[in-house]
Structure 1
Amino acid sequence: MISKIYNPKNSLTDHILFMLSIALVLCLFSCKETEGFNDVVTSDKSKPAAITSVKVENYSGGAVITYSLPKTENLLYVLAEYRINDLVVRQSKSSYYTDTIRVEGFEKSAEYEVTLYAVSRADVKSDAVLVKVHPETPAYLLSFPTILMQRDFGGVNLTAKNPNKQAIGIIVITTDKTSGRMLPVEQYYTKAEDINFSVRGFDTLSRDFGVYITDRWGNISDTLIQKISPIYEILVPKDKFSEYRLGTDSPLGATGLGWNTTRLWDNITVDPGWHTEAGQGKPLQITTFSMGTMVKLSRYKIWERGEAYGNDYSYGHGNPKAWTLWGSAATAPQDVELPVTSLPGAVVGDWVNLGNFDCPPPPSGNVPGQTTPLDLAAVKAGFEFNISLDAPRVRYIRLAVKSTWGNADFAHVTELSFWGNTN
């Protein structure tokens, strides 16, 4: 494994990519920031007095400037103009209701000059007041040294830290077969403190993967490049799957309508599927089955119940909201009472916790029960989850649902698919 760091501005090709990345981000985020003011036209063309008593408080990537407002009756807002990097000049505005303005998006921790104006309702500026700010290291540069790339099933896994939980974009690039250039294959935007995601869809041949970090103002880090050989991955064949019912498994419900455990692997992602019986009063809804072969799992996909029979079950009813996936490599794993709460890697009898999972919320942001076509499409597409690279090889699976979207005492799932290495 070889790794190196280079600045994407160092070659013409990479400079073009760099400029395109900035253009994309700048299209998504305006270069002008407004803080609660409305333009008002007036015939009073008098020049407002300048602001005074300026103080600066620096933070990661920006600064908060406080000041005393001039005693000008026609004052409308305070304007800050400043350059955040070699390419971009920004403006921030703050209304006369406040004595604070925020300037942010600076490329690095350095001294920058901010020009402040008091602006009247007739759009007349006061004399300029120059202020020096020295922002702390911005989030994208804080995060860059923490990047860890490692081979994953069908691609590469990336982890990083974002200690200030600011919005950053992690851009993954690799060599394009047609052009021979390093081009983006994933753009992952997040505010999460602990970042962990995988990029897949590649064969096992060694190739260069690169990653750099941007922010919403178009700043961009250097690029870390590593030569990585992805791990072999296939969709685990379902023709060997079989039910392996244990005593603590939940009683089946809606069997008269065709719901049973084997429907979880019939390659039909709509009704019917697996459905437990209501009214059992158990904290977990559990089903157990065998994949028929030992697998080093990489990921899986779960399809919950969506629209059916003229009803919408999305994000409601017995659809799982939180669950644990357990696995076993034993020849004939024994039954055991599974805990409601446990950590990944925990071992209970013949079973190991492969991960605790939460269903993503509706992408529309609406509360459950107010689903949109976007929400319905997400449910129809299924939800995919990674299995930790540290997880052991297993043959048997136990799905233990601990909560549902409808706070029901039963659960239902229409399909499960698994990927990994069966060799």
Structure 2
Amino acid sequence: MIMTNRYKKLLWRLLPVLMAVVMFSCSKVADYKGVVSDDKTKPGTVTNVQVKNEAGSAIITYDLPASENVLYVQASYMINDNASRQTKSSFYTDTIHVGGFEKSQDYKVTLHAVSRANVMSDPVEVTVHPGVPAYLEAFPTIGTKADFGGININVLNRFKANLGIITISRDPRTNQLEIINQNYTNRDTISYSLRGYDTIPKEFGIYITDQWGNISDTFFTTVKPIYEVQIDKSKFNGYVLPSDVRTGFGWEIQNLWNGNTGSPGYHTEQPIQPLVWPAVITFDMGQGAKLSRYTIWNRGIDGSGNWLWQAGAPLTWTMWGRISDPVDETLPSGSGAPGVGETSPNGWINLGTFRLPEKPSGLPNPQYTNADLDTWNAGFSFNFSLDLPKVRYIRFQCLENASLTNNFFNVAELTFWGDPR
């Protein structure tokens, strides 16, 4: 093969780098300890074993044997009466974590040093006594109350462990207790509602499980769901107040309740002229209602682009309401604003401040996954406080948009639920 001058010059430039790589590789080969070995010598045992107990788990430290062919240390143990686990830790560390224990009690853990030829040392048995595991720690904190159309469930997960909150109820056809909901989370404060039930007393059972299949006792409660229906959108109308932002691009406020969660929706001017921020729009639901929850749909993917978690989608916003005829005012915002259930100077009730949930994938914009798109297209649902009074008129106050330009916003659709009786 003929080497041109250009490639010769390139080779000379790369030669120092190549030599360094070769020398580094050779030194690593000399030091490398292969996983496979013909050395069938039984390794020595771990010594100086010490235990630090934690919630549902324990950290075991030890001194490795002097044997040159040790690959890892293995811990074998039962986590309850039926299930066993094995945990392994490489020879680069002197610590092994054992966990998944069902209770706070004594458990036997057997430690083996294992060689590269898969030969085990003699066993070393140690006793651990883990603290109360997270699923049992959380169980006494279960709280429930009647909610619109169902039950509200609250749990404190102090250790932020991976827990499953399982709800059961009696099937009216079979009279057997059946799982009706499974909520898996590692959030420290867990609060959610199950809905779709008639306004008659209903018994629910709740138990907690962890990632190793341990299960708590079952907490039973009977609640009477609060009456709830979707608020009739055919009665909705715009109600423009002097401080409301102007509409842009022909995306009128009536699109917020036309049943179409895609484009076009509602859009402000872009940019708002003159710029007044936070920007506010007002509408009339046509009837008073004690609101329970709502779902907001934002502009997604349409003929002009991808708007997921970006552009004019509201990032944070406050809902305001009142039952009496609207009085205009520049609504307060920030640290000086009234709290939920409190009123502005001209009588608008703060119904809550809300935030757009994070993109599930965590990908930077404009990237997204199919799961991100499904989440966006399903809309985002939020609960109102049960203590709020009836309202008829709504003001939507956008505090930030997703692009943080804070000079326009858009919304595709709004749907409300509650008791209009």
TM-score with structure 2 setting the length: 0.87
Corresponding residue number in structure 2 for 1:131: 126
Corresponding residue number in structure 2 for 1:401: 398
Match of 1:416 among 391, 399, 414: 414
Shift of 1:279: 3.0
Match of 2:268 among 276, 279, 287: 276
Q: Say whether 1:301 aligns with 2:299.
A: no
Whether the aligned pair in 1 keeps the contact of 2:252 and 2:266 (CA below 8 Å) is: yes
Q: Say whether 1:108 aligns with 2:100.
A: no
Corresponding residue number in structure 2 for 1:345: 341
In structure 1, how many angstroms separate the alpha carbons of the residues matched to 2:88 and 2:228? 52
> C-alpha deviations, 1:205-239, integer Å up to 9, x for none?
22211111111110111111112221111000011
Corresponding residue number in structure 1 for 2:9: none
Corresponding residue number in structure 2 for 1:391: 388
Q: Secondary structure at the match of 2:122?
A: coil
Q: Which moved more, 1:282-291 or 1:235-244?
A: 282-291
Shift of 1:260: 1.4
Shift of 1:310: 4.9
Corresponding residue number in structure 2 for 1:80: 75
Whether the aligned pair in 1 keeps the contact of 2:243 and 2:328 (CA below 8 Å) is: no
Whether the aligned pair in 1 keeps the contact of 2:205 and 2:219 (CA below 8 Å) is: yes
Change (3 A) 1:248 1:60: farther
Corresponding residue number in structure 2 for 1:200: 195
In structure 1, how many angstroms separate the alpha carbons of the residues matched to 2:264 and 2:332? 26
> C-alpha deviations, 1:292-351, integer Å up to 9, x for none?
111111110000111111521111111122222222222334423221354433421312
Q: Which runs of 5+ in 1 are unaligned?
A: 1-37
Q: Secondary structure at the match of 1:348?
A: coil
Q: Secondary structure at the match of 1:140?
A: helix
Whether the aligned pair in 2 keeps the contact of 1:248 and 1:337 (CA below 8 Å) is: no
Shift of 1:83: 0.8
In structure 2, how many angstroms separate the alpha carbons of the residues matched to 1:332 and 1:401? 19
In structure 1, how many angstroms separate the alpha carbons of the residues matched to 2:233 and 2:196? 20
> C-alpha deviations, 1:83-134, integer Å up to 9, x for none?
1111210111111111111111111111111111111111111111111111
Change (3 A) 1:282 1:49: farther
Corresponding residue number in structure 2 for 1:320: 314
Change (3 A) 1:82 1:98: same
Q: Secondary structure at the match of 2:371?
A: helix
Task: Name the amino acid aligned to 2:121.
Answer: S
Whether the aligned pair in 2 keeps the contact of 1:306 and 1:313 (CA below 8 Å) is: yes
Whether the aligned pair in 1 keeps the contact of 2:242 and 2:328 (CA below 8 Å) is: no
Whether the aligned pair in 1 keeps the contact of 2:295 and 2:381 (CA below 8 Å) is: yes
Instruction: State the number of aligned residues.
Output: 383
Shift of 1:404: 2.2
Q: Say whether 1:60 aligns with 2:55.
A: yes
Q: Say whether 1:372 aligns with 2:369.
A: yes
Shift of 1:392: 2.1
Match of 1:232 among 210, 227, 231: 227
In structure 1, how many angstroms separate the alpha carbons of the residues matched to 2:34 and 2:383? 50
Whether the aligned pair in 2 keeps the contact of 1:284 and 1:340 (CA below 8 Å) is: no
In structure 2, how many angstroms separate the alpha carbons of the residues matched to 1:57 and 1:330? 63
Q: Say whether 1:69 aligns with 2:70.
A: no
Shift of 1:158: 0.6
Shift of 1:367: 2.3
In structure 1, how many angstroms separate the alpha carbons of the residues matched to 2:106 and 2:34? 32
In structure 2, how many angstroms separate the alpha carbons of the residues matched to 1:170 and 1:377? 24
In structure 2, how many angstroms separate the alpha carbons of the residues matched to 1:138 and 1:344? 36
Corresponding residue number in structure 2 for 1:248: 243
In structure 1, how many angstroms separate the alpha carbons of the residues matched to 2:282 and 2:61? 62
Whether the aligned pair in 2 keeps the contact of 1:210 and 1:224 (CA below 8 Å) is: yes
Task: Name the amino acid aligned to 2:194.
Answer: V
Shift of 1:39: 9.0
Whether the aligned pair in 2 keeps the contact of 1:52 and 1:69 (CA below 8 Å) is: yes
Whether the aligned pair in 1 keeps the contact of 2:249 and 2:267 (CA below 8 Å) is: yes
In structure 2, how many angstroms separate the alpha carbons of the residues matched to 1:70 and 1:346? 68
Shift of 1:243: 1.3
Corresponding residue number in structure 1 for 2:172: 177
Of the two, which has the highest radius of gyration? 2
Task: Name the amino acid aligned to 1:322.
Answer: T
Whether the aligned pair in 2 keeps the contact of 1:336 and 1:348 (CA below 8 Å) is: no
> C-alpha deviations, 1:6-61, integer Å up to 9, x for none?
xxxxxxxxxxxxxxxxxxxxxxxxxxxxxxxx992211111111111111111111
Whether the aligned pair in 2 keeps the contact of 1:39 and 1:76 (CA below 8 Å) is: no
In structure 1, how many angstroms separate the alpha carbons of the residues matched to 2:81 and 2:304? 57
Change (3 A) 1:310 1:410: closer
Q: Secondary structure at the match of 1:278?
A: coil
In structure 2, how many angstroms separate the alpha carbons of the residues matched to 1:314 and 1:41? 51
Shift of 1:141: 0.8
